[in-house]
Amino acid sequence: MGRVYGILGWLNFFSFTENQETIFSYFPWFILKNKKWEIIKLKNWKQHNNHFIIQINNITNRSLASKWTNTEVFISSNQLPKLDQNEYYWNDIIQCKVFNITNKYLGIVINLISNKYNDILVIKNEFKKNHTKKTMIPFINKKIVTNVDIKNKIITVKWN
């Protein structure tokens, strides 16, 4: 959840689901607050520019809402639709080891970024002690990403 919106306790909210409104069909929502999982109950939501604003039950003013800013929302993975063979969620790709087609280890996936052209793998590689390098590789299936093995957590790419 982003910053507070207005004086009545609304919060800016950004969805990272493929169809952004789909997030409102996955309930309950959870947050990790003070090392404890809490359930969020939504009172209302609205489309606002390129994101949403939400109202959480019992959050009625700006001061109460400010305690919820910069909080990530989680859902249970069993709420997600079942995928066909050779399909995967972004979350499945995180922590995959990445090798190029000559079997050179490039690093581990730490994030994915989406832009209007294609998704991008963010790879972390500790190639020297205390020295970390990040590499960004376009996720272009078959052209750059040649294989994704979710079971063994290995991705093969055409990349040096």
Residue 148 in domain: yes
Write out pLDDT tens, residues 70-91: 888 999 888 888 888 888 888 8
Same domain assignment for residues 114 and 135: yes
Of 39, 57, 79, the residue at which a domain comes to its end is 79
Domain that holds residue 106: 90-157
Same domain assignment for residues 61 and 41: yes
Write out pLDDT tens, residues 17-68: 878 899 999 999 999 888 889 999 999 999 998 899 999 999 999 999 999 8
Whether 138 and 160 have beta carbons less than 8 Å apart is answered as: no
Residues 101-112 as b or e (16 or more Cβ within 10 Å = b) = eeeeebbbbeee
CATH number for the domain harbouring residue 149: 2.30.30.240
Partners of residue 48 on adjacent β-strands: 51
CATH number for the domain harbouring residue 55: 2.40.30.60
Residue 84 in domain: no
pTM of the model: 0.69
